[in-house]
Amino acid sequence: MTTSTLAPAPRYWLMKSEPDECSIDDALAAPNATVPWTGVRNYQARNFMRDGMQVGDGVLFYHSSCPEPGIAGIARVASSTRPDPTQFDPASPYFDPKSPADAPRWLLLDVQALRKTRLISLAELRSTPLLSQMRVLQKGSRLSITPVEPEEWAVVVSKLVEQ
């Protein structure tokens, strides 16, 4: 077998969602437990979706902007990117009047929830030395999508099985 026939190794991501908009429970209740990840309005997060994320990549489903933020579930990337229709909807909070219809600036992809987990709080993540370099824990980090190193993924998953 040549290296060109090998599938790329899966990557891992942390994706933040406000539970008022889409919680892990909402995602699990959606058809095929799959939701479109709309509303990304940061170029770096958009570029992670466009250039880095592939179908099958692992996702830590993170609840943000809530009383206790943290990882609330495990998901996977379920589609490639496509234009986010909310950028063209004047009634949407994600409307972008400067985004041209013939060259949309904002994308989405589908995320399939695999399971709800116990909440791994931000405080618990911070208190885990092996996660000290995790991007979501870095001072000033506000991105809604960040890469997760394979070692960090393994530590988080191990925390879920040691319940």
Q: What is the pLDDT of residues 123-162, one digit of tens each?
A: 999 999 999 999 999 998 889 999 999 999 999 999 987 7
pLDDT digits (tens, 9 = 90+) for 97-117: 999 999 999 999 999 999 999
Query: Which ranges in 8-149 belong to alpha helices (H)?
Result: 24-29, 43-47, 122-126
pLDDT at position 46 over 60: yes
pLDDT at position 163 over 60: no
Residue type, 159: K
Strand order in the sheet with 34-36: 34-36, 110-121, 70-77, 58-63, 12-17, 145-148
For tokens 């406000």, name the residue: 18
d(C-alpha 40, C-alpha 127), whole Å: 29
* pLDDT score of 75: 98
d(C-alpha 96, C-alpha 114), whole Å: 31
d(C-alpha 104, C-alpha 26), whole Å: 27
